[in-house]
Structure 1
Amino acid sequence: MNRVKMLLTLLLASIIMLPSCTQQPLPVATDEVTLQLKWSHQAQFAGFYMAQEKGYYAQENLKVKFLEGGQDVDIVRRVISGQADFGVLTPEIIIKERSKGEPLTAIAAIYRRSAVVFVAKNDSDILRPGDFLKKKVAAAGEGGAEEFALRFRAMMKRLGLDISMVEIVPYDPAYTAFYDGEVHVTPCYVTGGLIKMRKKGLRLNLIRPDDYGIRFYSDTLATTEKIIAERPELITRFLRASLKGWQEAVEDYQKAVEITLKYTRTKDAELQNAMMEAMLPLVHTGEDYLGWMTPEMWKSMVEVMSEQGLLARPLDSGEPYNLRFLKEVYRVGSQ
């Protein structure tokens, strides 16, 4: 009887112990991440789509959601409020918001050359910024269009031109008033609006802020100080997957166009292909790594905005960006 009790006791103990011996580790929950884009879906964001469709985000255990932007979308508020974890912004906006005390930080410059250009019709007498005086310029806007407004102000102020002598009207992404001749000058992207205008047969004069000393990065990936402090590994994973997608978009841009068309509302392959071709030299400059940022460039951008009185307070040029995550992705030492 005692032997039976002993066997039952051993059997019961083995049953109790069995789950702890054979239990598998619980799967790590997938992190849900939201990326706020500047504009509606288009080839401008092809690298992010590549990262999604090729499974690079999934490899980092991330489930990524894209939010479309636009002129009426307050991208900064969405990122700061936590509606989006990351945002595609311009360095001007990041610098301006940092000077106001907002906790935005750039983690990578996707477009290392600016895509912004101001255009006037070829038969006009508008060839340079000085010709904007007493003309109607579509350089006012918020959301995705704020980049144009800031670039316009910086260029005019650097040249000592009186902005009050320009009739400034809201930017129109459809360019209707410009086509009709009611607006004399409009900003656009060489990767988007310029292509659409030329497709309509317009001959244009191009005025590039870069030619007047206003040199900035363009699309820049940003997050908040809160996420940097609380989830640094999430940033590294997201950035690593995103840059992998951008690298593949550069290497196989036709595939990138094919994937982009899954997201765009208008399935215009010719337009998206032209956008990709115009975008490639802005992203892949042949310098450093894709997405890389330099302290010298940030110093220059902060100085330009400070000189033009566009900052709410004096700002150290190291405040608006953080190189930590690019260094982790590319495994490089301190520079």
Structure 2
Amino acid sequence: MKRHLVSLLAVCTIMISCFFSQQCLAETLAFRPQWAPQSQFAGFYAAAEKGFYAQEGIDLEIKGGGPGIDALDEVAGGKSTFATGWLISAMKVKASGKEIVNICQLIQKSALVLVARKDSGIKTVDDLAGKSIGIWPGDFQVPPRTLSSMKNIEVSFVDQGFSLDAFVQGEMDVCSAMAYNELLVLLDRHFKYDDLTVLSYHDVGMNFPEDGIYVSRSFLENHPEACAAFVRATIKGWKYAFANPDEIARLITDKANQTEFKTTFAHQKAMLQAMEGLLTFRVGPDGIGDLLKKDFDFVYMVLDHSRQIDNPFTYEDFFKKVR
């Protein structure tokens, strides 16, 4: 009798899965990363390559990303189903009145860091006083300006552009870098790790988690299972990428080298290894995707203090755990 019940349950599960698959495959869903192919998005490419989205009944198009493309705006406007974006950026979009929802917070720890030469005498955040700090435009400026304001440290901000040459040549004291990208370039081409001081925003109590997965509220409300399936497949893709770094780094390298943003296998593998620590920080492999309320509260406070929250919202309104 027990065997028959198990068999019946298995048949029902297959029937439900098939029904859902037919529903999803009737429409191609679109995912827009906020940048071109690189290991920052390895989980998505791995999930597509290994058929994890198809197994969940999702026919997915992965669009290209890069300069001039606002992935979060595309989701808000219905041009893409899913997109990645920084927590800072998404909260500003939400505060402007556009209904987007975070359904999976990927990066748990600020990947944006400040980098200085040790021989400059900079060892702690307090040593930044009076120094020149290179920053990027847009939301990249929020963490360093918040640091300066909250720690009451007078610094000189300079535009570092999209090259680290000015820092390498000693034209600025400190540069901004992503721990999974530009920091790796500095270590690969110019410095040894012991030559540098790397200052983490998280380590001084200012955590700005970056990449999360976003969807419009209307799509989430009308297709909750499709959203859950997308998140499940994506997390499975990330876990596969972490377990098979060589395979997925080669996949990413091949895709990137079909665009204007050329790269190397070694760089993409190092980036993938760095991403694992950022996704599993504090939450572990089984907690990938959670947005901690204290992180939401901190970023909200920063944006509210700088008068960038025109339409107030709550943690419960912004983040929905769907998987």
TM-score, normalised via structure 2 length: 0.81
Structure 1 window deviating more from structure 2 (288-297 vs 51-60): it is 288-297
Structure 1 Cα separation of the partners of residues 308 and 204 of structure 2: 17
State the one-letter code of the partner of 1:217: P
Is 1:204 the counterpart of 2:196? The answer is: yes
Residue 261 of structure 1, aligned match among 253, 257, 280? 253
User: What do residues 238-271 of structure 1 show as CA deviations (whole Å, max 9, x unaligned)?
Assistant: 1121111112122322332232223122351111
**Equivalent in 138, 143, 150 of residue 142 of structure 2:** 150
Which string of whole-angstrom CA distances, capped at 9 and with x for unpartnered residues, describes residues 224-251 of structure 1? 1121123223212211211111121223
Query: Which amino acid in structure 2 is aligned with residue 139 of structure 1?
Result: I
Q: Show structure 1 runs of 5+ residues with no match.
A: 1-24, 330-335
1:291 paired residue number? 289
Q: How many Å apart are 1:128 and its aligned residue?
A: 4.0
Distance in 1, matches of 2:78 and 2:180, equals: 29
Q: 1:38 aligns with which of 34, 37, 56?
A: 34
Question: Share of identical aligned residues, percent?
Answer: 23
| 3-state DSSP of counterpart to 1:254 | helix
TM, length-normalised to structure 1: 0.78
Q: Is the 8 A contact 2:103 2:215 kept in 1?
A: yes
CA drift at 1:64:
2.1
Looking at structure 2, the residues matched to 136 and 295 of structure 1 have their Cα atoms a distance apart, in angstroms, of 33
- Shift in Å, 1:31: 2.7
Picking from 101, 106, 110, the partner of 1:110 is: 106
Runs (5+) with no aligned partner, structure 2: 1-18
Aligned to 1:312: 310
Q: Which amino acid aligns with 1:247?
A: K
1:181: Cα distance to partner? 3.0
**Aligned counterparts of 1:292 and 1:149: Cα–Cα separation in 2:** 25
Q: Tell me the equivalent position of 2:219.
A: 227
Task: Report how many residues are paired.
Answer: 293
- Residue 181 (1) aligns with residue 170 (2): yes
Letter in 2 for 1:206: V
Determine the structure 2 residue equivalent to 1:279.
275
Distance in 2 between the 1:36 and 1:131 partners? 40
Aligned equivalents of 1:90, 1:140: Cα separation in 2: 14
Instruction: Letter of the 1:173 partner, please give it.
Output: F
Matches within 5 A, 1:1-335: 29-142=25-138, 146=139, 148-162=140-154, 166-169=156-159, 171-202=160-191, 203-265=195-257, 266-285=262-281, 286-287=283-284, 288-307=286-305, 309-323=307-321, 325=322, 329=323
1:84-111 deviation line (CA, Å, top 9, x unaligned): 2211111111222222222121110112
* Equivalent pair of 2:110/2:200 in contact (CA under 8 Å): no
Deviation at 1:134, TM superposition (A): 4.7
Which amino acid is the alignment partner of residue 275 of structure 1?
Answer: M
The residue that corresponds to 1:16 in the other structure is: none
CA contact (8 A) 2:136 2:162 kept: no
Post-superposition shift, 1:177? 2.6
**Are 2:34 and 2:70, in contact at CA under 8 Å, matched by a contact in 1?**
no
**Against the structure 1 CA distance between its residues 312 and 244, is the aligned structure 2 distance closer, same or farther, given a 3 Å change threshold?**
same
Deviation track 1:32-65 (CA, whole Å, cap 9, x = no partner) reads 1222212221111111111000011122232322
